[in-house]
Amino acid sequence: MIWTTPQLPRLREPRRRCRRRGAIYAVMLGIAILVSLIGLSAVAVGRVNMRVANVGGNGSDAELLALSAIEHAAATIGTDTAWRSRYGNDVETAPVTLGRGSFTWKLVDETDGSLTTGGLQPVRVWGIGRSGEARRCYSVQLAPGGTNLPTNPGMEQGLTAYEVQNADCVLESWTDQPRNGAKYLLVKSRLDRTGGPQQNLTGKIVSGNSYYVELWAKMTSASEEPWLCFVIKKAGQADTVYKVRAQPAKSTDWTRVYGTLTPSWSGTPDSVYLRIETNSTAQDFKIDDLKVVEGTASTPMVPALDSWRQEPLP
């Protein structure tokens, strides 16, 4: 007699429970990964925000440092009578640490590239500020200041103190578009390029001294360079003329033009005039805000109007 063992049915329930447990585990793992990614993203965003804030702060610091550099340079050359020979043209100074950054500055002669030649010339000061990775650079031109020698330099008293030579032009006082103040001088009906306004500065100009001459000019037809002249007159002798060619003056806007003159003569002249001419044409032109400053060891250097600008990093 053969005994057989009855076949038991397969048990599937445990497998179902294992599958359910595995699915739950996978879901929980996915949620954990998602939460971790969210946390890491939040940390990354926080770091980015902190970096942006830090860069912005460094940028502001660099800007303030650049402006501080210009002030430092102006104060330095204002108290050093030998600054033109002490500093090189377009050469940065040693860094000065201030707060979270540092600054340097340099002097640039835009006329002839030399601080020591050319007499009493303006100089452009570059201020460079550095903070972290941020860099900023600004500049301003410093021009000779001090006592202004002409009479009625702003033309506010009309034609007072201004003359013409041999009727070579006509002078008129106008009020429609002055550079500054209420009036300017119109120079018209010029016979040739040498015709122009002049002022007697006898007794104010000394032989052998340097003088900084500046004015605002506006041409009426096309851009052209004014000539700034000292004319020394002696009876029985031809006039001696010292002149410097200034920057081109626009016909569309007022332009600041300037130059340095060092007249020299022997004996005593009958008169010394400052005269404004033009380079090549006899076109009409306008002038305003005349300045003639004598160069001495104590002549201050002051910021020139409308000369501030942001510079590319050197």
Say if residue 134 is in the same domain as residue 182.
no
Say if residue 58 is in the same domain as residue 90.
yes
Please give the pLDDT value at position 135.
95
Say if residue 263 is in the same domain as residue 307.
no
Say if residue 281 is in the same domain as residue 313.
no
**Residue 286 falls within a domain, yes or no?**
yes
Give the residue ranges of DSSP H helices in the chain.
13-78, 83-86
**Residue 149 falls within a domain, yes or no?**
no
Contacts of 302 (CB under 8 A, 6+ apart): 142, 143, 144, 145
Say if residue 245 is in the same domain as residue 272.
yes
Phi, psi of 181 (to 5 degrees): 75, -145
**Residue 249 falls within a domain, yes or no?**
yes
Please give the pLDDT value at position 26.
63
Say if residue 294 is in the same domain as residue 310.
no
Say if residue 124 is in the same domain as residue 193.
no
Say if residue 60 is in the same domain as residue 138.
yes
Say if residue 288 is in the same domain as residue 311.
no
Please give the pLDDT value at position 55.
47
Q: How many CB atoms lie within 10 A of CB 240?
A: 15
Q: What is the mean pLDDT for each group of 10 consecutive residues in the chain (314 residues)?
A: 52 55 64 62 52 65 95 93 92 94 96 86 95 95 95 98 96 96 98 97 96 97 98 95 96 95 94 98 98 90 89 85
Say if residue 304 is in the same domain as residue 294.
no
Distance CA 112, CA 84 (A): 13
Say if residue 113 is in the same domain as residue 219.
no
Tokens of 81: 């009578």
CATH number of the domain that residue 271 is part of: 2.60.120.260
**Residue 226 falls within a domain, yes or no?**
yes
Domain span at residue 86 reads 23-144+300-314
**Residue 221 falls within a domain, yes or no?**
yes
Please give the pLDDT value at position 173.
98
Q: By the 8 A CB rule, do 89 and 121 touch? A: no
Number of domains in the chain: 2
Please give the pLDDT value at position 96.
96
Please give the pLDDT value at position 52.
44
Tokens of 290: 């005349």
**Residue 156 falls within a domain, yes or no?**
no
